[in-house]
Structure 1
Amino acid sequence: MELAVAALGSLLPKLATLLTDEYKLQKGVRGEIRFLKAEMESMQAALDRVSKLPPQQIDDLHNIWVRDLKELSYDIEDSVDSFMLRVDAPSCAKPKSFRRFFDRTIGLLTKAKARHHIADDIQDIRSRIQEVTGRRERYRFPEVAVQPENTEMDPRLPALYEDVKNLVGIEGPSEKLTALLMQGEGAQKQQLMAVSIVGVGGLGKTTLANSVYQRIRGEFQSQAFVSVSLKPDIKKIFSSILRQVSGGEYPNAEAWTHTELIDTIRQILEKKRYIIVIDDVWGESAWTQIKCSLTENSLGSRVIVTTRKTDVVKFSCSSIDGTLCELDPLSYEDSKKLLCKRVLNENEEMHSELEDVSRKILEKCGGIPLAIITTASLLASRPNKTKYEWYTVYNSMGSGLQKDKSLENMRGILYLSYSDLPSYLKPCLLYLSMFPEDFEIRSDDLVRLWIAEGFIDEKQGSNLYDLGERYFIELVNRSMIQPLYKKDGSPRACRVHDMILDLIISLSSQENFVTILEGPCHISSACNIRRLSLRGSKSNSKEEQMIFPATVNISHVRSVVAFGDAVEWVPPMSRFPVLRVLAFKSRSRNNIHPKDLGSMQHLRYLELGGDLKTELLEGIGNLKLLRTLDLWGPFKGELPASISQLRQLENLLTANMVKFPDGTGNLISLHELLCLSLDESPNTLAELGNLTKLRVLTVGGLDKNQSYVKTFLQALSNLVNLRRLVFFGDGTCSLDYMPDQWRGPARLQSFHGDLVTFSQVPWWFSSLSELSSLSMRVNLLRQEDLKLLGALPVLRFLDLVIDAHGTTTEEQLVVGADHPFRSLAEFKFMHYTRCWLEFARGVMPKLQRLELVLEARSREGGGFDIGLENLASLTHVTVKVDCDGARMKEVEDVEYKVRDALDMHPNHPTLKLSRHYEGRMIKDEDKDGHEVLEESDEDWEYMMKDENKDGQEESEES
């Protein structure tokens, strides 16, 4: 349903554009387009109305009508896009030339032909609209007044009655949750407190909440357990709470008003210590209403909330003093124990031949108890416990959600999460079925693909990429995707849990949204293929790879994403006339003809890997709608000059050895430029200031030629929209070449310069009020630099390295109250000098993770006191002990004092200790310090690898 709404939402603005004077359509054609637009708007209104009906009231006739309408919308949009391209095509001939006259004459004839063609298309579309509408009317039956009774069982119900002896892996989480509920002393323990359990559907949140509830309910005077569900009946929930907390005194409370129910519940709870479990909360609205019935009586009452959405957790913890309990998947050992308990007899052990296949099955289940239990039911239904039978189940898990009846409960629970998604997120989620299981999907790539497909609507005052990032975060918060984070805590990629991937593959197939081909198979020619995910295998022979016979119509395909060897059997590009997305996720071998590439005028997204030839890209200037060009392979040539004609290009992503042509400054729509090597493209530096929409820039070569720096800084002042700046290289440079009145890009949020050594912290950093992530390597660090950085208001992540050449760095640096780093959450401080930090009271109030290098050599005055106890929010500490020139006793003394300091810390942070340069320690028996152990190559290589591993992520982007 939502996919049809999305298709119409993309089409209607284009129909409105066609009615403007710009396209000079004949009066009759304009009238047809007005009819078409009005018809589509009416259908959109009808779709909205149908979408609000309960699922049991939407019959197959409605579903067929929705499917036909979606396909029709796609075809209309393709026709409109083709017309706009033909009419908008500009002439490249010089003014006042015979060629210009000739081109203009041909252009007028071509445009007249295009207008005639769109008129024919609209006539055909009008006939199809009448056909779709007429079919629906012909087979419609009279409305039935009485709706069928919903007799489906709540899929969460079995979790409430699970036998305790069948539960696995719940002891640890149960103890943790109990401790959270009972924590606190004195007045704090007496306050009303909420603990929220968050996690994906099927993870065991209800089971855990009920287990703890049954264990501790006896310590409370009143108790209640209620389930909220996706579409809650609030009055029914209040009635249930009232019956439970009153001991059944009000059996007929359903007839009461909301106010009467709330007042009575509050009156009962006012003088009682109570515990209430509010299970499966989906939205803030439901929680806001239920919270009205909870009263703060300073008797130590407790509330447990379970939810799949982190937004609900944040809201519930802000409205009642609360904390978060994030439920982790089961370990492999517990997963195996649960599987065996469900499949094998009590004293039966798993046969050795089943070990490998059971491990693969459990990896696919990903530690989700419901997935393990559901799969176990499939295994138990098999007549024999053999390796062959279990592999049959394993191989069917990708399609089991739609084929096996025993999986209906699992599907129902996961489908609830999908149903709760807003309409704009559903196509974004279904698009993830384009990627194989366990594939790491970069968040930036995914947002670019969504934009190319038209899934993100540009709203007033909003940037498409900001909206796309918001969509990504929303899917994370709803537990639909598993995020992978950068070192600064921001999401860089995601994976999709196999069980959720199964669901969205099933839905994509039903909706004809994505067609997945894995190796040799036959394609039905009955339906229009819209998106192709091709997954190759080296085992496929050349004959097997011929899977696209001429009888199969692939002319409506909008996206082709190819993995593995599938890039070698992609059909000729001429068979994809309306292709918007072409992405090769493995190295290609130039199997695209340059002429074909230049003719793909609908293309918005092009991603090619491998060692490409420059000739392949010669026609790229024809791709006027191209938004993303991603050449991620080892391409080291020069981009063609025609690339400067791509005025809509927003993302230009290349390796760091690519040469950009003159005219790159004409790409005025660029949002991301990666990677600009000034060694290869010095002329581009002078044009950089023209790219005022640039949001992300990766640049190298400043360390090779200091004369570039001033020009670069001048260009930087023009990049008013720059959010992320990344440097690559291996030398030293300074960024302090500008006068005092010069200011850096005010909207900069992320600065990553840990692959280049800067002479010092640039003074203009003080103007970066939005900087939240900073990693850099400097030769010199002074007290005033710490004061500058500490004053940045939203700095959350800081990775600061002092290079070995920084001999003038002050030995003792104090983080004081005049530069408190008030937003910092993670701090990494590495140095190769005799420098150390001390933390004053009250600084870094939000710091949770700290990583330090500590010298073991005796300091002047002795002792070890850097003020770790003053970091009030600290939870994780990593200390690397520098053993260079120290005795074993001194090293052990530092380690002891670190442990002792953290043992005294009220939060008892976790500690990770390691030693570096152990090969350079002084032997204990050497009293004079002359006999020094030689530094081993292994120690040095390990140290360098460790220091650079965090920067590796940025170098990969480079």
Structure 2
Amino acid sequence: MELAAAALGSLLPKLSTLLSDEYKLQKGVRGEIRFLQAEMESMQAALNRASKLPAHQIDELNKIWVRDLKELVYDVEDSVDAFKVRVDNDPEHAKAHSFRRFFDRTIGLLTKAKSRHHIADDIQDIKRRIDEVSKRKERYNSLGVGVPQPDTVDIDPRMPSLYQDAAKLVGIDGPTQKLIDLLTRVEGVKKQKLRVVSIVGVGGLGKTTIANSVYERLRGQFESHAFVSVSLKPDMKQILSSILRQVSKDKCTNAGEKDRDELLRSIRDFLVNKRYLIVIDDVWNVEAWEIIKCALIDKNVGSRVIVTTRKMDVAKFSSMDGELYELDPLSEKDSRRLLCKRIFNEDVGIHSDLEEVTMKILKKCGGIPLAIITIASMLASMPRTKYEWYGVHNSMGSGLETDKTLDKMRNILHLSYSELPFYLKPCLLYLSMFPEDFEIRINDLVRLWLAEGFIYGKQGSNLYDIGEKYFNELVNRSMIQLVEINEFGVAKTCRVHDMILDLIISLSTQENFAIILDGSHLKSTMHSIRRISLHDKVDGNREDSKEEQIILPTTVSISHARSLVVLGNAVQLMPPLSWFSVLRVLCLKNVPSKVIHPKDLGSLHHLRYLELGGEVEPGLLEGIGNLKLLKTLNLKLLKTFNLWGPSIEELPTSIVELQGLEHLLMDKRKLTGLKLPDGIGNLTSLQELSGLDVNNSPSTLTELGKLTELRTLALKGLGENESYMKTFLQSLSNLGNLRTLEFYSSTGTISLDNMSDQWRGPVHLQSFNGGVSTFFALPRWFSSLSELSCLFIRVNVLRQVDLQLLGALPVLRILYLQAASRGVTEERLAIGGDQSFRSLAKFRFMHYSSCWLVFGPGAMPKLQSFGLYLEAQKTASGGIDVGWENLTSLKHVTVTVDCDGARARKVEDVETRIRDVVGSHPNHPTLELSRVSEQFMT
């Protein structure tokens, strides 16, 4: 239902655009579009109202109605897009001689007239279909078919967690003790203060079980205690009544008669001067916590509260002093033990015949106890044969919607999906397009959402920024896992847990959102398929498996597909591009382009996102100028060197016609980049230009200044060419919207000293990565970058004044600072508590001298991660202990010891001293200690 509402959110602005003077529609057609707009707005209101109902209260007739509406909305949007493409792509403005211009204008006028006739016909057909859908619903409602079923009271699917046999629980001792330590091991004045600790993690991870285990172990130490579950749609009066009854030990008999404010006052009155322990389980939103918190009086008697949640923002908001516990999945060892205990009622080994399939089942479960327990209950009732167990493994990937034994697990995971706002649901379902364990680049994922129209906002807002917020919200809700984190601490790739993936594949199939093709027979009841993902067939587990080809039922059409994602060898399953008429996304990852005809690619007029990977024929992109709606051209994985044949070396001149292009992405780490044609300054909508090689495209440096919407720029090849740098700086001064600037080099270290003190950087810059580029000293203009949050910089000379300048940057969170030469001017540089580095959370310091940083009281108050690169030969053991204890938020330390020229004993002494210093820190941070150049020790 929410998917239909999301689709309408994308369509309605387009209908408004059609009514503008730009399209010069006839009066009758404009009236029809206004009717259509009003009808769609009414649909959106009805769908938004219905979406607030629990899923079990929506009968089958209404589900069919919603499905038909969604398909109708898709078709309306396709029709509107087709009209705009036909009108906007006419040759009216061709720049040829006068006769040619007259001829093209005449053709253009005829094309527009024909297009307006098409849109009028389409609207009439759509009106007829709207009428049919409405009448069908009314016709069967009148027979009583659609009468809602009586409401039922759902049993909280997490309740069994409260009654698990402790003897059968595996892997909870460590988390239980960790949580107890967070609650009890508090020193000084904080010991008597009210302490709130949050447990956060995905559904099924055991948060409720662990919270209950701690509650049972500690409740006897408190005068009053309570355990309440909040759930997705909380009844706050009932929750507060339950707290009052429990803490009063049922002495308050009229709790059910009180209103919310009276309940809050009663709880506070009862808890005055009492030491209490309360568990608030399964909190879904900050608003619910805010209400409950009003009852938690603090009289400095050592009270404790535990909050469990799936959402990081709730965990952070509810935790006092930032105390939260991110619950990890079970280890492989504990996962095996739990499986065995549930199947055999004892901790025994798995028979060798079942070892391989057991590992695959446990991998699928991903350390989630609920998944392991659920699967174990299935296996316990089956013959212990390889064939039967593989059947269970296969059902985990495709049978989630039909296997009754998996219902409990599905219900718990489904709670998280049901609670998502409507605009996040299609974004999450889109991840079903990628296979198990596939790491997706986050930036690419947001661009794919943009191409599909999932992201929309108020006029003037940046949709990419909104898309990043969507992504962060899904991470905070534990629906997406972060995988790769770069040196700046910025997440680069993500994936979804296998069990979440199975859920969204099931939902995606039910909603006709997308289908996955892997060489198997396609089963679909829908006429039009909207999204297709082609995977390598990896299901070789069953002994009777055979390679098959895709068989499309004759009733199924892929012409209305909006996305086609092809991964690797699955290209052999790829249908011809000529079959697709409204394709918005073409994502070919490591797919050779020989299967694509340049004419077919150039005819995809609806395309918004094009990603090409692998070997590409030189002429493939010649027709790219026809793709007027293209927003992203992703060539990062393109193979520009082909040992066995011709390869692509430059982009065609027609690319400069793509005035709507927003993201041009090339490989920024290859030795030689693609050559860009003259005229790149015409791409005035460009927001991101990555992998620009100025050696290949020097004229681009001049035209950069015309790209005033540019937000991200990553370039290489400046080298020591002073004229290049001068031209670049002149252009850079015009880029007032620039947020990220990165330099790369294929020729070693380069100097950035032309960016000297008289020059001024972009004032809105948020991230600067100099790479291997070096400043002689820190330029003064860095002090004007009040929005800078990430900085990677190398300097030859590091001075006390430089640290003062960097420390004054108000939102600097991540700093990589390298003193590249032996020219550090002072042996000790002080960082004090004078509000310097007040936002810094991650700091890496690399130096090649005997210089040390001295941390005074109050230094870097938010620093959690500190990294150090040092030369053992130049390090005095007494110089290591330089105030690390003043880093009051420190959690993790990474030290790399350069052994070059040092004796082995000297290296060992330095490492021992480092361990002693870190070990004596009051926070007991973790330590990662490593060596480089060990072969050069003397």
Q: Same fold (TM over 0.5)?
A: yes
1:744 counterpart = 2:761: yes
- Name the residue aligned to 2:456: 457
Find the aligned partners of 1:888 and 1:855 in 2 and give their Cα distance.
13
Contact 2:751–2:773 (Cα < 8 Å) also in 1: no
Contact 2:757–2:779 (Cα < 8 Å) also in 1: no
Q: From 828, 839, 845, give the equivalent of 1:823.
A: 839
1:545-624 correspondence runs (5 A): 545=549, 547=551, 552-624=556-628
Find the aligned partners of 1:851 and 1:838 in 2 and give their Cα distance.
14
- Name the residue aligned to 2:176: 174
Contact 1:523–1:547 (Cα < 8 Å) also in 2: no
- Name the residue aligned to 2:639: 634
- Name the residue aligned to 2:31: 31
- Name the residue aligned to 1:915: 931
> AA paired with 2:416?
S
Find the aligned partners of 1:422 and 1:728 in 2 and give their Cα distance.
40
Find the aligned partners of 2:549 and 2:570 in 1 and give their Cα distance.
8
1:132 counterpart = 2:98: no
Q: 1:813 to 1:688 in 2, by over 3 A?
A: farther
1:193-232 correspondence runs (5 A): 193-232=195-234
Contact 2:337–2:347 (Cα < 8 Å) also in 1: no
- Name the residue aligned to 1:645: 657
Structure 1 residue 321 displacement after superposition: 5.1
Identity %: 64
Q: 1:292 to 1:842 in 2, by over 3 A?
A: closer
- Name the residue aligned to 1:480: 479
Find the aligned partners of 2:451 and 2:189 in 1 and give their Cα distance.
56
Structure 1 residue 81 displacement after superposition: 0.8
Q: Deviations over 1:607-666 (max 9, x none)?
A: 011221231111100100000001121235110111001000000112352000000111
- Name the residue aligned to 2:823: 808
1:879-894 correspondence runs (5 A): 879-894=895-910
Deviates more, 1:474-483 or 1:864-873: 864-873
- Name the residue aligned to 1:723: 739
1:152 counterpart = 2:154: yes
Contact 1:190–1:298 (Cα < 8 Å) also in 2: yes
1:406 counterpart = 2:422: no
- Name the residue aligned to 2:785: 768
Find the aligned partners of 2:462 and 2:577 in 1 and give their Cα distance.
32
Find the aligned partners of 2:819 and 2:375 in 1 and give their Cα distance.
53
Structure 1 residue 864 displacement after superposition: 4.5
- Name the residue aligned to 1:703: 719
Contact 1:357–1:391 (Cα < 8 Å) also in 2: yes
Contact 1:637–1:658 (Cα < 8 Å) also in 2: yes
> AA paired with 2:759?
W
Find the aligned partners of 2:621 and 2:546 in 1 and give their Cα distance.
27
Contact 1:168–1:334 (Cα < 8 Å) also in 2: yes
- Name the residue aligned to 2:366: 366
Indicate the SS of the match to 2:587: strand
Indicate the SS of the match to 1:752: strand
Find the aligned partners of 1:256 and 1:780 in 2 and give their Cα distance.
70
> AA paired with 1:433?
S
Structure 1 residue 60 displacement after superposition: 0.8
Contact 1:277–1:304 (Cα < 8 Å) also in 2: yes
Q: Deviations over 1:374-433 (max 9, x none)?
A: 111221232x11122111111221123212101111111111101111111011111111
Q: Deviations over 1:336-387 (max 9, x none)?
A: 10000011243753101212211111111111100111111221232x1112
> AA paired with 1:106?
I
Find the aligned partners of 2:151 and 2:432 in 1 and give their Cα distance.
34
Q: Deviations over 1:809-861 (max 9, x none)?
A: 33524033368322221111223344443333332222222221333336689
Q: Deviations over 1:210-265 (max 9, x none)?
A: 00000010000111111110001111111111111111123342122112222211
Contact 2:850–2:874 (Cα < 8 Å) also in 1: no
- Name the residue aligned to 1:952: none
Contact 1:695–1:724 (Cα < 8 Å) also in 2: yes
Find the aligned partners of 1:525 and 1:217 in 2 and give their Cα distance.
55
Structure 1 residue 291 displacement after superposition: 1.4
- Name the residue aligned to 2:388: 389
- Name the residue aligned to 2:892: 876
1:779 counterpart = 2:779: no
- Name the residue aligned to 2:261: 259
Q: From 760, 767, 788, give the equivalent of 2:805.
A: 788
Deviates more, 1:708-717 or 1:76-85: 708-717
Contact 1:614–1:639 (Cα < 8 Å) also in 2: no
Structure 1 residue 587 displacement after superposition: 2.7
Contact 2:678–2:699 (Cα < 8 Å) also in 1: yes
- Name the residue aligned to 1:376: 376
Indicate the SS of the match to 2:595: coil
Find the aligned partners of 1:133 and 1:622 in 2 and give their Cα distance.
39
Q: Deviations over 1:38-94 (max 9, x none)?
A: 222222222222222333331111111110011001101111111111122243532
Q: Deviations over 1:410-464 (max 9, x none)?
A: 1111111011111110111111111111110111001000000000013244210
- Name the residue aligned to 1:509: 509
Q: Deviations over 1:844-886 (max 9, x none)?
A: 2222222213333366897544332232222222222333333
Q: 1:170 to 1:881 in 2, by over 3 A?
A: same
Contact 1:673–1:698 (Cα < 8 Å) also in 2: yes
Q: 1:599 to 1:882 in 2, by over 3 A?
A: closer
Find the aligned partners of 1:859 and 1:203 in 2 and give their Cα distance.
46
Structure 1 residue 190 displacement after superposition: 1.2
- Name the residue aligned to 1:677: 693
Deviates more, 1:479-488 or 1:675-684: 479-488
Structure 1 residue 538 displacement after superposition: 9.2
Q: Deviations over 1:711-752 (max 9, x none)?
A: 112211211111111211133333332574531011111112
Indicate the SS of the match to 1:403: coil
1:310 counterpart = 2:327: no
Q: Deviations over 1:115-160 (max 9, x none)?
A: 1111111111111111000000000045999962424321011001
Find the aligned partners of 1:555 and 1:232 in 2 and give their Cα distance.
45
Contact 1:481–1:495 (Cα < 8 Å) also in 2: yes
Find the aligned partners of 1:546 and 1:309 in 2 and give their Cα distance.
40
Find the aligned partners of 1:514 and 1:412 in 2 and give their Cα distance.
22
- Name the residue aligned to 2:438: 439
Q: 1:445 to 1:364 in 2, by over 3 A?
A: same
Find the aligned partners of 2:755 and 2:895 in 1 and give their Cα distance.
38
Indicate the SS of the match to 1:853: strand
> AA paired with 1:568?
Q
1:122 counterpart = 2:123: yes
Contact 1:442–1:493 (Cα < 8 Å) also in 2: yes
Q: Deviations over 1:497-539 (max 9, x none)?
A: 0111111111111110001111142455752100001113499
Contact 1:884–1:920 (Cα < 8 Å) also in 2: yes
Contact 1:857–1:884 (Cα < 8 Å) also in 2: yes
Find the aligned partners of 1:539 and 1:272 in 2 and give their Cα distance.
60
Indicate the SS of the match to 1:712: helix
> AA paired with 1:437?
E
Q: 1:124 to 1:916 in 2, by over 3 A?
A: closer
Find the aligned partners of 1:173 and 1:859 in 2 and give their Cα distance.
39
- Name the residue aligned to 1:925: none
TM-score of the aligned structures, taking structure 1 as reference length: 0.92
- Name the residue aligned to 1:941: none
- Name the residue aligned to 1:65: 65
Q: 1:741 to 1:752 in 2, by over 3 A?
A: closer
Structure 1 residue 891 displacement after superposition: 2.6
Find the aligned partners of 2:527 and 2:411 in 1 and give their Cα distance.
28
Indicate the SS of the match to 1:596: helix
Deviates more, 1:868-877 or 1:602-611: 868-877
Indicate the SS of the match to 1:751: strand
1:41 counterpart = 2:41: yes
Contact 1:56–1:148 (Cα < 8 Å) also in 2: no
For the aligned residue pairs, the C-alpha RMSD in angstroms reads 2.3
- Name the residue aligned to 2:299: 297
Indicate the SS of the match to 2:401: helix
- Name the residue aligned to 2:644: none
Find the aligned partners of 2:843 and 2:193 in 1 and give their Cα distance.
34
